[in-house]
């Protein structure tokens, strides 16, 4: 499934000056921003997809933007969405549509810093895209991975991504490991996580935000099962694999790059912090 959110006609709200980019939110590499800061509640909110962690607030479900509202707002009041099973053709939408009651408020709040982080990431890319010298920016790489995982789980739990049997996913279908990774109780397995993709990806369109769910191909032992998600933000495209190391034969890919330098002459730099640190440095002609 490919979800293409095409925002070209509506792109407003891009930062026009470098000082509009908030550089004060650089994150410590050691802190996952979704980590719960208080002791476990030992409560469950029925319908919260993280209920197996037994750390809900016990109150009713809250409404959640599974594709970050702060990111969608960058695209103006409306944008075009394509690729959902309930849409036969691309349709203009508002951010409100991409909401679902799938998390308790406590778990929802714990994930909301991911939305701030991806919006900041987008602002840097958008600045470079406009030829602005954006300076240096640091992000916790694992939080970018967690944001992609949040989108993937949101798509599944909201019913926009169906299982192999066509059934809507339920909380108890989710591997507890995914939830522990999402809430920073466990690291991503070795070889899983973010891969930057340097070449065009089949079926991923040219919109400014494209989301494509990755399935194992026919003939594979796990055919049809989801193993990850591909995100394309402007021209910056990456896969987050949660099931296995990805095998890509035709594209140039880099696992967890530590640095992206934009343009020649340079227009800025994004550093991704990883544990252990990455020595991979890429120069992108953005």
* Binding footprint of Zn ion on the chain (CB under 5 A): 45, 48, 50, 56, 104, 107
Distances (CA, A) of 186 to 13, 62, 146, 177: 36, 25, 11, 8
DSSP 150-212: HHHHHHHHTTSSB-TTSPBP-GGGS-HHHHHHHTTSSPPPTT-EEEEE-S--TT--SSSEEEE
**Of residues 11 and 109, the one with the C-beta less far from Zn ion:** 109
Cβ-based nearer residue to Zn ion, 40 or 245: 40
Least Cβ distance, residue 113 to Zn ion (angstroms): 16
Judged by beta carbon, residue 34 or residue 45, the one nearer Zn ion is: 45
Task: Judge if the upstream peptide bond of residue 265 is cis by omega within 30 degrees of 0.
Answer: yes
Closest separation in Å from C-beta 229 to Zn ion: 22
Spatial distance between the Cα atoms of 259 and 269, rounded to a whole number of angstroms: 7
- Min. distance of Cβ 283 from Zn ion in angstroms? 42
Is the separation of the CB atoms in 113 and 146 below 8 Å?
no
Nearer to Zn ion, 33 or 81 (CB): 33
| DSSP assigned state of 75 | G
CB of 73 to Zn ion, least distance (A): 25
CB of 52 to Zn ion, least distance (A): 9
Q: Is it true that the peptide bond before 279 is cis, omega within 30 degrees of 0?
A: no
Largest interatomic CA distance in the chain: 54
Whole-number minimum distance, CB 6 to Zn ion, in Å? 33
Cβ nearer to Zn ion, comparing 56 with 72? 56
User: Element (H or E) spanning 112, and its range?
Assistant: helix 105-129
Nearer to Zn ion, 156 or 209 (CB): 156
């Amino acid at each position: 499934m490919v979800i293409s959110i095409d925002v070209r006609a509506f792109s407003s709200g891009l930062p026009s000056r470098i000082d509009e980019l908030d550089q004060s939110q650089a994150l410590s590499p050691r802190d996952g921003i979704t980590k719960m800061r208080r002791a476990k509640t030992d409560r469950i909110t029925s319908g919260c997809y993280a209920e197996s962690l037994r750390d809900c607030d016990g109150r009713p479900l809250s409404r959640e933007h599974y594709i970050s509202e702060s990111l969608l707002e960058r695209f103006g009041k409306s944008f075009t969405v394509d690729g959902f099973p309930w849409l036969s053709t691309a349709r203009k939408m508002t951010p409100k549509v991409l909401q679902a009651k799938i998390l308790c408020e406590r778990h929802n709040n714990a994930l909301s810093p991911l939305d701030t982080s991806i919006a900041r990431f987008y602002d840097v890319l958008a600045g470079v895209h406009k030829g602005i010298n954006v300076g240096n920016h640091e992000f916790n790489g694992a939080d970018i991975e967690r944001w992609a995982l949040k989108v993937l789980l949101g798509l599944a739990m909201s019913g926009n991504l169906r299982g192999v049997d066509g059934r809507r996913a339920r909380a108890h279908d989710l591997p507890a490991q995914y939830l522990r990774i999402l809430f920073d109780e466990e690291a991503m397995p070795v070889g899983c996580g973010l891969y930057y993709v340097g070449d065009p990806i089949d079926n991923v369109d040219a919109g400014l935000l494209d989301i494509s769910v990755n399935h194992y191909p026919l003939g594979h032992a796990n055919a049809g099962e989801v193993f990850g998600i591909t995100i394309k933000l402007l021209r910056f495209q990456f896969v987050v694999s949660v099931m296995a190391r990805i095998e890509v034969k035709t594209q140039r890919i880099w696992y967890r790059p530590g640095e992206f330098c934009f343009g020649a002459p340079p227009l800025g730099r994004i550093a991704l912090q990883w544990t252990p640190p990455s020595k991979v440095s890429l120069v992108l002609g953005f």
